[in-house]
Amino acid sequence: MSGGLKLDNIIFTGRTYEEYVRMFNLTADDVATLTFFVCPGGASSFPAVAHQRGGHVVAGDIVYGSSLADLEHRGRSSLEAIRGGMGGARAGYHWDAFGDVDGLIRIRAEALDAFLADYEQGLGEGRYIPCSLPSVPLGEGAVDMVLSDHLLFTYPQFFDKAFHVESLESMVRVARREVRIFPLIGSATSLRPQYFDEVMDSLRALGCEAAVETVAYHFQQGANEMLRIRKVH
């Protein structure tokens, strides 16, 4: 299958809190009782909204530490890149949740606005930290769960098998309970990378249970599965 969104660069954008809940099959009890590390955090509103609701979320991204003005510029420019790139890709998506491209941009802008409103305070409190995968700047077992969306497996044209294996090893190290990755197909190809099965084998070699699980979120055609990695004690 082809016809997905084709981008020349990795964009700075993010999903809403509600999208995160559906992408990762999270429950209200999960958010209220577990600690999370989200990487890359991008311009997601999940950390901000979870914090407002008493949750504990730390987000990492390579651009965190930049000025608020710089991140706003990156975010607005990325929205325009999405708008321009979706013209030829619309048929590869389910539009029930957004209606059309304008609806998609509006929801992405809501996530960006919530992130920007929280960023400077969260940066000062250590809730937004610079992070450049495959390294994760947290200690072993620092959080209950690691969530990562729209980077691993999404850009196989930029990241090879070694990057995926090293990134997942880092995530597993800092997660006491689970790592969840979404989606499992590329943004442009709508296919899993050729090395997907080898990555799964490497996780099992670490002593992890790695399984594909269907989720409630389905925007890009074929992208309704996450990788759920459980640490075996």
Q: What is the pLDDT of residue 1?
A: 34
Q: What pTM does this model have?
A: 0.94
Q: Which of 213, 212, 215 has its CA nearest to residue 224?
A: 215
So what's the pLDDT on residue 233? 62
Tell me if the domain spanning 17-231 has CATH number 3.40.640.10: no
Q: Are 127 and 47 in contact (CB under 8 A)?
A: yes
What pLDDT sits at residue 42?
A: 97
Instruction: Give the chain's largest Cα–Cα span.
Output: 48
Q: Are β-strands 175-182 and 128-130 bridged in parallel, bridged antiparallel, or unpaired? A: unpaired
For position 187, what pLDDT does the model report?
A: 81
Low pLDDT (below 50) residues in the chain: 1-3
Copy the structure tokens of residue 107: 């929801």
Check residue 3 and give its pLDDT.
46
How high is the pLDDT of residue 91?
79
Give dist(CA 48, CA 125) in Å, integer.
Answer: 12
